[in-house]
Every structure is written in structure tokens, then in C-alpha cells.
Amino acid sequence: MTGNILNLRNHLLIAMPSMGDPNFDHTVSLICQHDEYGAFGVTINRPLEMTVGELLHQLEIEIHDPHIAGQSALSGGPVQSEQGFVLHDGMRNWDSTLRIDENLALTSSRDILNDIANGSGPQHFLLVLGCAGWSPGQLEHEIKANAWLTCPSVANILFEMPYNQRWKGAALTLGVDVNLLGVAAGHA
């Protein structure tokens, strides 16, 4: 790691109102991996105009649970926008699972989609298309430039809070009302 920035794996990045990148305006992203090679994560509050059922149908996977089929798929970020990822709870691993912590993981293999469709998947999940990535030191630089607030991830925010409330809700875990933040940095 460069500088004195902590490892941000399993932390939420909350875009500051001054964020100049439209890909991340008012977003909350979960950092799934953070090491000397950079950082990788997925945005958790940008629903797409596509449901989980529609996406699985395109993959010729039949799903019968209307609650799961009607769940929104999310835009996970501007990188690899056609690549699907499932952010999920539980300790189970599938063919391609990246463990974020003991009860949170990101899986990119088809076997988890089959299990979700037949009712044997994780209890809570988000299906995201695309991801976000930062080169070594880039995320640390952006945090120092006041582009992001960070906080530990919270299962309620990841899986239960309505998408349109996650940006404000994540900031409130820090005691910050993002509506009161200006667009100028507070240091010289």
C-alpha cells in the first residue's frame, strides 16, 4: 500500500458531491479487493432497466420465483460492462468466488446463477454488470483529493436499503449529511 491509507477491502466508497466523474456521481461502491496492484469494486446503487429474470432469460436460465426474477440488476461500474458479478452473503463458494470477508463474497461464474434460479443460491445477493477498478495508488490519491468518503460495509446497506437511499444512508453511518456538503475541498 502506498502512504498511510488502510486496506479498504469490505469498505464502501461514497462519492462526494464534488465527484467530477459522471460514472460515479452519487454512487456507493463496495471495495472487493485492495492491494499493491490497485483496487477493484462494484457499485451497489445504480439499478439498470433490466431485471434479474430478464438477464437470466438471456442466458437461457429459467427462474420461477417472481420476487427474485423482478429484482433489478445493477450497473456495477464502467469497466467490463458486459461481465456479470453476483455480490452475495454466506460462506459458500462457487467456481469463481472472491471472498471479501467470511460472510460476503463476489462470484462471477454461471453456477451461482443456476443456483439462484432454482432457489438454492445465497440468501441475499445483488446481480451487477460491470465493475470499477483503480490502478496502484489511484484510489488513495482520489480519497486524499476528497472525491470519496469511506466507511465499513454494512449488510443492511448492501442488501436491504432501497437503492435510491444508499448514498445518503452510507454517509449517515459516518454521521455525515451529504446534502450539507459543498463541492469545494475543505483544505488548501
**Cβ contact 179:26 at 8 Å:** no
Residue 183 belongs to a domain: no
The pLDDT, as a whole number, for residue 186 is: 46
Considering the domain boundaries, does residue 56 fall inside one? Answer: yes
pLDDT greater than 70 at residue 182 = no
Total count of domains within the chain: 1
For residue range 4-49, list pLDDT tens digits in order: 457 999 999 999 988 878 889 999 999 999 999 999 999 999 999 9
Is residue 122, in this structure, part of any structural domain at all? yes
Average pLDDT of span 133-140? 94
What is the residue type of 89?
A: D
In a domain, 140, yes or no: yes
What are the start-end ranges of the H helices in 2-78? 52-58, 66-69
* Domain residue limits at 33: 11-178
Is position 119 within any domain? yes
Beta-carbon contacts of 30 under 8 Å, excluding residues fewer than 6 positions away, are 10, 11, 12, 13, 41, 42, 44, 87, 100, 153, 158
Rounded distance, CA 70 to CA 79, Å? 25
Contact 136, 37 (CB under 8 A): yes
Q: What is the mean pLDDT of the chain?
A: 90
129 found inside a domain: yes
Q: What is the CATH number of the domain that holds 33?
A: 3.40.1740.10
pLDDT of residue 2: 43
185 within domain boundaries:
no
Coil, strand or helix: which one is 70? coil
Residue 31 is assigned to a structural domain of this protein: yes
